[in-house]
Structure 1
Amino acid sequence: MKKHLMVLIISLLFFGFIGSNSVFADVNTVNLAINGTLVNFPDQKPYIDKNNRTMVPVRFPAETLGANVEWLPNTRQVHITNKAHDALKDTDIMATIDRKDVIVNGQTKYMDTTAVITNSRTMVPVRFISEYLGATVTWDNGNRVAHVFSKGQTKEEQDKYYGTNSPRTKTKAPAPKSGRCT
């Protein structure tokens, strides 16, 4: 009987640890929603980088916002342009891999992280790129979702995408350490 009890305890511990790995995977999950619709990333998912910034593959959110994205392999740069789409402003952004300086409408701006290549995808901080395109970005900490709003939605319209127990970080407020979306 003791042997069966020992096998049961070991099995529970073993399967309990295996099950807990899925919990850790959920903790690292970050999503992106544009105007209330979750963006599907078929290969490289968004993540929080070492500078606590939400990094996303540039093409999916930029093109969803109506911008054009061009990869310049010889200079390792990504060129994002937007010409009068929705409520967004005309914008020209040139970001270089592994550099903090970015050219925005002919002026040098600085990110507090860098664009990088992860799994053959150009990853950029969602807040920096989206806000220079004229969108509003908020962070839903409870659901770990960066929300990008491009149609001039009011705070009340934005709030309908947050649950009652889901804290939100406004664009200008400092974000929680668990995943600021810049």
Structure 2
Amino acid sequence: GVLKATSIGKCKIICRTEKLEANLDIEVVGKIPPECSDEIDFGTVEPGVEKTLELKVKNQSCTSIDIRISESDEWFECSLPSVHIQKGETYTLKIRTVPDKLPDGAWLTGKLNLDWGDDKKDIKVKVVGKGISFSRTEIDIGDIQVSQIQSRTIIISNNTKNDVQMAISSSANWIKYNPESVTIKAGKDGSVTITIETWEFEGNKTYNGLVMFDWPLGNVEVPVKVNALSDKTPPQIRISDTITIYNATEAEITGETEKGCSVIVDGIQAKLTGTQFSAKIKVVQAPSKKTIIIESTDKSGNKTVKEVLIVNIKRRKVVMTVGVATMTVNGKSVAINPPPTILRGATMVPVRAIADAFDATTEFNKDTNSVTITLDGRKIIIFIGSQTAIVDGETKLIKPPAIIYNGKTMVPFRFIAEALGAQVEWDPKTKTITLNMDKMP
């Protein structure tokens, strides 16, 4: 048969039958891969200058080997296309740069391929062309607590005669960079800010990554190293102590906390986008108050608890326009007859329609020729044709006085609204009246 091996030695094969036994000694003479460096680094090479380095290749096999040599790029070459190395011997190859193929400012990486039939090996070849330089060739942040941010700036100098445009990327999502690409004018400097975000880190662990710079004549990898320490600082919760809502059955609670935290709002898992969290919760029908609990827990288990008061105000909003026979009550269309009308130089409205819109009660007294409006303990008495009215026992001026118009009691809109406790808005352009009444819990 055929034996393949990567090491030499001796073994014995034993064949047995019931009466016979035979022994066969076998020497294994497999080929061991040649020994050589994994990288050839020319360092910085001046424009137009040839630089030569040696690569020692040792044949560790028990037989001689033939190695075919090829280059991935034109900017470097080996002194021989192939070499024959006797067993146990070391051969020195000459690897040189090719000046006219090495542009000014190029940072290049190539491969020198060694092929000896049974296997092959790629040797990394690097060169730095003078003209492009980086202020940092590595970023070691050192110790940093989880949930903290650190930034470093890399200055790139372009001392060539041409503008250079670089694309920037990273090997890990915790390494951010700004900008994503940079154009550096000839003879000028450019800068890139590298930001390390540790939101997803685990404490007491080392993280490694790369920032990559690519341009037509080269590529550079800048190693990034971070030692993450356990965070002992509770996360912050940024949200108002009191949130006011109106006529709501549910409320959307939004705020900010540290990135990567888990947030619970009133027992509901909140959605987190970056540092923003949001959650919808149920609330008691207005008017009502409710205190909710917000919890934010970071990756290290630190927790912050915050109480927030939700105030649900019952708001009644009435909108009507002079001459229009419909009004809206909290957005719902309701008939109003007669419509708001300008009489005696004032905008008059039917008292019953306004009272009904605010859930007030009205009562007409024929003996006193008056209308009584009652709402939440407030009592208003308006006398037809009189410039005086009684509001919670106090005499008030009403001008012009209430009148009967088209069979309805009409009063100045501002008087009745303010007497009921509503806020008044008047738009003279559209002749629109807006009344807002808030009932606090």
Give the TM bin, normalised by the shorter chain: 0.5 to 0.7
Instruction: Determine which of 116, 126, 137 is the counterpart of 2:403.
Output: 116
Q: 1:124 is matched by which residue type in structure 2?
A: V
The SS at the match of 1:151 is: strand
The alpha carbon displacement at 1:143 in A equals: 2.1
The alpha-carbon distance between structure 1 residues 139 and 35, as it changes in their structure 2 partners (threshold 3 A), is farther
* 2:341–2:348 contact (8 Å) kept in structure 1: yes
Which whole-Å CA distance do the structure 1 matches of 2:423 and 2:389 have between them? Answer: 19
Q: Deviations over 1:86-123 (max 9, x none)?
A: xxxx3100000000100010110101210000111011
Confirm or deny that 1:47 pairs with 2:341: yes
Q: Distance in 2 between matches of 1:96 and 1:48?
A: 20
- 1:127 paired with 2:414, answer yes
Instruction: Go from structure 1 to structure 2 and tell me whether the alpha carbon gap of 1:80 and 1:116 turns closer, same or farther (over 3 Å shift).
Output: same
The structural deviation recorded for 1:51 is 3.0
CA positional deviation for 1:67:
0.8
Unpaired segments of 5 or more residues in structure 2?
Answer: 1-320
Give the ranges of 4+ consecutive aligned residues of structure 1 lying more than 3 Å apart after TM superposition. 26-39
Please give the alpha-carbon distance, in whole angstroms, between the structure 1 residues aligned to 2:432 and 2:419. Answer: 20
For the structure 1 residues 32 and 131, does the alpha-carbon distance in structure 2 shift closer, same or farther, using more than 3 Å as the test?
A: farther
8 Å Cα contact 2:325-2:338 kept in structure 1: no
Gaps of 5+ in 1: 1-25, 84-89, 153-182
CA distance in 2, matches of 1:48, 1:31: 16
Partner-residue secondary structure (3-state), 1:114: coil
Alignment TM-score, normalising by the size of structure 1: 0.58
Residues of 2 paired with 1:59 and 1:51: CA distance? 21
Q: Is the 8 A contact 1:33 1:146 kept in 2?
A: no
Superposed displacement of residue 28, structure 1: 5.4
Identity of aligned residues (%): 36
Contact preservation (8 Å) 1:75, 1:96: yes
State yes or no: 1:104 paired with 2:391: yes
Q: Are the aligned partners of 2:421 and 2:437 in contact in 1 as well (CA < 8 Å)?
A: yes
Corresponding residue of 2:360: 67
**Please, what TM-score do these two structures have when normalized by structure 2?**
0.25
**Compared CA separation, residues 114 and 95, structure 1 to 2 (3 A):** same
Give, as a single letter, the amino acid of the residue that structure 2 aligns with 1:100. Q
CA contact (8 A) 2:399 2:412 kept: no
Pair 1:27–1:70, CA change in 2 (3 A): closer
**Bigger CA radius of gyration:** 2
Question: How big is the shift at 1:40?
Answer: 1.6
Higher strand share: 2
C-alpha distance in structure 2 between counterparts of 1:127 and 1:45, whole Å: 15
How far off is 1:33 after superposition?
4.6
Mapped contact 1:32–1:146 kept (Cα < 8 A): no
- More helix by proportion, 1 or 2? 1
Aligned to 1:155: none
Quick check: 1:78 aligned with 2:371?
yes
Structure 1 position 92 matched with structure 2 position 92: no
Q: Alpha-carbon deviations, 1:3-29, whole Å to 9, x = none?
A: xxxxxxxxxxxxxxxxxxxxxxx9855
Q: What is the Cα deviation at residue 151 of structure 1? A: 2.4
Q: Is the 8 A contact 2:348 2:410 kept in 1?
A: yes
RMSD of aligned Cα (Å): 2.5
The corresponding residue for 1:162 is: none
The residue type paired with residue 127 of structure 1 is R
* Most deviating of 126-135 and 99-108: 126-135
The structural deviation recorded for 1:61 is 1.2
The higher-RCO structure (CA 8 Å, 6+ apart) is 1
Amino acid at match of 1:97: I
Distance 1:101 1:64, change over 3 A: same
1:136 aligns with 2:423: yes
| Pairwise CA distance, 1:74 | 2.0
